[in-house]
Structure formats: C-alpha cells, structure tokens
Amino acid sequence: MSKDCWEDPAAFSGDVCMLSEEAIHLRDCLFLLWSQHVYWTRMVIMGIAFDLPDLEPTTNRLLRNASDFARLFCRFYGNEIASEFGRLMKDHLVIAAELVQAAKAGNTKAAADAEKRWYANGDEIVCFLNHINPYWSVKHMRAMWFKHSELTKAEAVATLTKKYTRSIEIFNQVEKEALMMANDFANGIICQFSL
C-alpha cells in the first residue's frame, strides 16, 4: 500500500529545495486549481450518473476551472497563450462530460468517438505545454495526462456500474495524480522563470 504525501514527503515528484515566496504562491495556486479540477469533475460525474438537479450549475462551475487556469497562465505567458490553454482545458472537460453521458446512455459508438477526441485533445494539450515551456517534456507530460484521463474514465465507469467503493478508491488515485500534476506544472514554471 503506497503512502500518502503527509506520511511520505517523497511521494511527490521533484526535489526538495528552498522556494521563493512567489514560487510557493504559484505552487499553492496550482494545487488549488488541480484539486478543484478533480473535485468538480467528480461532482459532474455524479450529476450525470444520478440525474442530479444541480448538474447544470455544477458543470458551469467545473468549466470555470479552465478560465481559472488561463488567468494563472496569463501572468507568465500572456493573453494569447493563456486563452489557448483555457480553450484546450475547456474542451478537455466538455469532451469528458460527453463521454460519461454517452456511456450512461449505453451509446458505445458515441462513447468511443468521445474517448478518441478526448485523447486527441490530451495530445494537443501536451504538445502545447511543451511548446510554451521546455521543462514540460512531451514524454513525461503525455504519460501524466493520459494517466489522469485513464483514472477519470475508470472512476466514471465504476460510478455508472454502481461500484461505489471502487469509485472512491479510484478517486483517491485521481486526487494523488492531480497533486503530482500540480507539482510538475509548478516546477516547470519555477524553472522557466527562475522564481
């Protein structure tokens, strides 16, 4: 059984070093954004699975996550790059919801199409990130992004098939992966901008 970060600080990737106040703030912001990303995604999955009455406002709040990421990116990369990243992230979220809805409806053709577009979007995000920051390697970012997608899909499948304990177990992995992604995003920006 793997240890959680509070039991084993080495559970996070990256070296331990002294960080500037600006770097700590950046890391905190990215941890918050990635945490919100996975929590609101889970709430949308639940909303779709159980036809919850708050699905629309929950979805709207999840989509705000893309704009929040864009605002943070704007500080380092400017409006044009930040807007493009926000668009890619929004597409990632919208396609994921389409995938869950198709799976719930038992529409395997639509689900397969959504999954194909979702992974293509993931590849687009990975290449975009590497283009704007050389510290985000394509190989590492792709492995990380696809792991995130695989876990999110598994979480949705477990929920839709009423394997709720399994869904929670997978979400624990989703949460841990998201925090590792936040750490890697922060490390890349810290290195690129010498924060």
Query: According to the model, what pLDDT value does residue 18 have?
Result: 78
Range of the domain at 137: 20-193
Question: Over 80: is that where the pLDDT of 2 sits?
Answer: no
Q: What is the mean pLDDT of the chain?
A: 93
Q: pLDDT tens-digit profile of 72-105?
A: 999 999 999 999 999 999 999 999 999 999 999 9
Residue 9 falls inside a structural domain: no
Residue 167 falls inside a structural domain: yes
Q: pLDDT tens-digit profile of 166-193?
A: 999 999 999 999 999 999 999 999 999 9
Phi, psi of 31 (to 5 degrees): -60, -40
Residue 15 falls inside a structural domain: no
Q: Tokens 């992604």 — which residue? A: 181
Three-class DSSP labels, the chain: CCCCCCCCHHHCCCCCCCCCHHHHHHHHHHHHHHHHHHHHHHHHHHHHHCCCCCHHHHHHHHHHHHHHHHHHHHHHHHHHHHHHHHHHHHHHHHHHHHHHHHHHHCCHHHHHHHHHHHHHHHHHHHHHHHHHCCCCCHHHHHHHHHHHHHHHHHHHHHHHCCCHHHHHHHHHHHHHHHHHHHHHHHHHHHHHHCC
Cα–Cα distance measured from residue 67 to residue 63, given in angstroms and rounded to the nearest whole number: 7
Domains held by the chain: number: 1
- Look up residue 110 and give its two tokens: 């639509």
Q: Above pLDDT 70, what percent of the chain?
A: 91
